[in-house]
């Protein structure tokens, strides 16, 4: 995207946005008007590994968002840089009734874990929005589908669906900073591509119990 296009978009935004606290209009992750608004994060360092014990379950860890790093988004006037502030999810994550699933590709029917069932834990850390599913069922169709793709590095990004509750445009309207968002009844998703290229994840095996060490070593070799 050229600097001229970004400058023109910022100029138009400055003319039409009434207050700098106004949220982006028609926010999306790509130029096409029908593109999704969900923000992605590259999963370098996401982990999929045997859960502790000899249960056969898989443990997934990753980041659905990385804070304080800009990525490109679009509104009705053109491209701009978006940044999520550290701590932006704190209020939402503190809800006693927090309901967020871990899904594939933002498909709400392809759920693999959920905060309400205790199978998904979300928290903020020094990187961003941390995702932890401690015991995915390997017999679940969606888990079985995505596990080998994560191991092979064919899929390596995450994304999250949320509602912006507070934020502000920069004085020149080229950057929008999200200072508070609500993820309740949104989702965290494993995706092919999204909007934020900074988040991280990995596929790995933890140190297993002695009874399953041989099987784990074989899976580690296959994952490399």
Domain with 43 in it: 3-223
Q: Write the DSSP string, 52-72.
A: SSSS--EEEEEEEEETT--EE
The structure tokens listed for 60 are 């997934």
Q: Looking at the 3D structure of the chain, how many domains does it have?
A: 1
Tens digit of each residue's pLDDT, the chain (224 residues): 567 799 999 999 999 999 999 999 999 988 888 888 877 776 556 788 888 887 889 999 999 999 999 999 999 999 999 999 999 999 999 999 999 999 999 999 999 999 999 999 999 999 999 999 999 999 999 999 999 999 888 888 899 999 999 999 999 999 999 999 999 999 999 998 654 444 444 444 444 443 444 333 334 333 33
Distances (CA, A) of 166 to 17, 85, 123, 157: 15, 11, 19, 26
């Amino acid at each position: 995207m050229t600097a001229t296009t970004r400058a023109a978009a910022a100029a138009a935004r400055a003319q039409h946005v009434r207050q700098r606290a106004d949220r982006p209009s028609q926010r999306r992750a790509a130029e096409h008007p029908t593109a999704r608004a969900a923000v992605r994060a590259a999963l370098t360092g996401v982990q999929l590994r045997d859960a502790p014990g000899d249960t056969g379950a898989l443990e997934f860890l990753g980041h659905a968002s990385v804070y304080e790093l800009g990525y490109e988004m679009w509104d009705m006037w053109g491209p701009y840089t978006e940044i999520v502030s550290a701590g932006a999810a704190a209020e939402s994550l503190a809800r006693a009734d927090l309901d967020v699933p871990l899904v594939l590709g933002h498909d709400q029917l392809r759920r693999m874990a959920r905060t309400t069932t205790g199978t998904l834990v979300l928290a903020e850390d020094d990187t961003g929005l941390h995702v932890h599913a401690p015991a995915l069922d390997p017999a679940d169709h969606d888990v079985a589908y995505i596990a080998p793709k994560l191991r092979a590095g064919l899929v390596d990004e995450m994304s999250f669906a949320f509602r912006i509750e507070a934020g502000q445009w920069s004085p020149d309207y080229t950057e929008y900073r999200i200072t508070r968002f609500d993820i309740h009844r949104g989702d965290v998703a494993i995706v092919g591509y999204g909007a934020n290229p900074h988040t991280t994840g990995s596929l790995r095996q933890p140190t297993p119990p002695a009874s399953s060490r041989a099987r784990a070593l074989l899976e580690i070799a296959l994952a490399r």
